[in-house]
Amino acid sequence: MPNDKAVSDHYSHGNLLNAIEEALGELGKTIDSVNIEDLAPVDEFHIGGRQATKNFLGQLDISQQEHILDVGCGLGGTARYVANKYNNKVTGIDLTEEYIETGNALCAWVGLDKNIRLLQGSALSLPFKGETFDGAYMMHVAMNIEDKLQLFNEIYRVLRPGAVFGVYDVMQVNDGELSYPVPWATDKSTSHLVFPMDYRSKLSSAGFEVSKENNCREFALEFFKVLRKKTEASGGPPPLGLHTLMQASTADKIKNMIFNITEGFIAPIEIIARKK
């Protein structure tokens, strides 16, 4: 689909694995010595980084025996965190082939390739049988997906009854014209933000029961404030970070995202639901 290609092209880097390896070298790390905490600055591609991951996943009741689905897994950073913490099985799917290739390599570097399988594909047509997974989550994914009902229908289909599904997305919270580019889109042609009530409605239509919604706006603004102070104190960004992914456009994308949040147009929102 043309839109799929536009989204994938937006995220593609071209030489990502080598860029990560070179940045790790500047930090005194090698493929043999790197761990998941070393990789966190680059592979937690969502507002709040690793702390947001901990806050979010702590609400999903994940256990050691479960097989979890990571929808829009990116480089697999969250999948690695889950597999490392719970010693369970995680399957991830993402549209961007380079992210999948890089993510699988990173899993091997940190010895988690037996627990994690990352696949290239569309979240709108999941290549899994029904009732395969014990739980699922997505973090900063549906901003690029217009047909959210189809997305939630597919996730519902592959979850077992009673499974918890967590969403952590950037959502529209007030009317207003957004400034672009932002981390998930160069312009509004591939940005499909809707209000939390639209998420709840589509989740309910798919069969989910929504139990919780958290607006993380203040957490986001504090995160960016602390990040800015650290960057200024260090005289620039560290060798490895989200700038490794976004490259030359990083400053503009982050600046616009902070502006859009500060102006009250958007906010990162957590929604927790369960398959009935």
Q: Which domain holds residue 116?
A: 2-275
Cis amide bond preceding 237, omega within 30? no
Listed range (27-31, 66-70, 91-95) with the worst mean pLDDT:
27-31
Query: Tokens 């589509």 label which residue?
Result: 202
Q: What is the CATH number of the domain that holds 35?
A: 3.40.50.150
- Total domain count for the chain? 1
Residue 1 reports pLDDT greater than 70: no
pLDDT for residue 12:
85
Q: In angstroms, rounded to a whole number, what is the distance separating the alpha carbons of residues 227 and 219?
A: 12
Q: 135: which 2 tokens?
A: 């739980």
Q: Extract the runs of DSSP E, i.e. beta strands, from the chain.
A: 67-71, 89-94, 116-120, 133-139, 159-172, 208-215, 266-275
* Cis peptide, bond prior to residue 2, ω within 30 of zero: no
Give pLDDT, residue 241: 87
pLDDT value for 55: 96
For position 38, what pLDDT does the model report? 94
Judged against a pLDDT cut of 80, whether residue 117 lies above it is answered with yes
Predicted local confidence at residue 3, as pLDDT:
80
Q: What is the mean pLDDT of the chain?
A: 95
- pLDDT for the residue numbered 86: 95
Alpha-carbon dihedral 208, 158, 89, 139, rounded to 10 degrees: -50
Integer Cα distance of 177 and 166 in angstroms? 28
Q: For residue range 161-184, list pLDDT tens digits in order.
A: 999 999 999 999 999 999 999 999
Residue type, 184: W
**Per residue in 32-58, pLDDT tens?**
999 999 999 999 899 999 999 999 999
Q: Is it the case that residue 2 has pLDDT exceeding 60? A: no
Distances from the Cα of 39 to the Cα of 48, 69, 222, angstroms: 15, 21, 22
